[in-house]
Amino acid sequence: MMDMQFTDVGGVTKAVLVGRLDSFSVGEVETRFVANIVPKEQSAVVDLSEVSFIASLGIRMLIGTARALQRSNARFAMFGANDAVMEIIETTSLGEIIPVVDTEDEAIAAVSA
């Protein structure tokens, strides 16, 4: 199961994901995730510090959101991934598509540059 929270940090949408982003939970949360980020047409950052696993469908959700924001000239970044999630990000080279940094401040800076 996965929980999500959304806040606005100075004109940047911040999403906090908690739990496993596996193929079952993606089906449950994807619509809400996209609906809370993409229509605002503003840059967004995602806190991954409480995410324990990302399956390929979760990666698809993140890439799809990043590309949708790109069409609105907005940016997307992620931060706080633990070692297990970083291994997945590195294996899939997701970091070459979406910036992945350590802290929220770095993520905000990355989408605000």
Instruction: Compute the least distance from the CB of residue 19 to another protein, in Å.
Output: 12
Cα–Cα distance measured from residue 102 to residue 90, given in angstroms and rounded to the nearest whole number: 14
Structure tokens at 82: 């633990």
Closest to another protein by CB, 59 or 111: 59
Closest to another protein by CB, 66 or 108: 66
Report the 10 Å Cβ neighbour count for 34: 14
Cα–Cα distance measured from residue 10 to residue 67, given in angstroms and rounded to the nearest whole number: 22
- Binding interface with another protein (CB under 8 A): 20, 22-24, 52-53, 55-57, 59-60, 63-64, 67, 84, 87, 90-94, 96-97
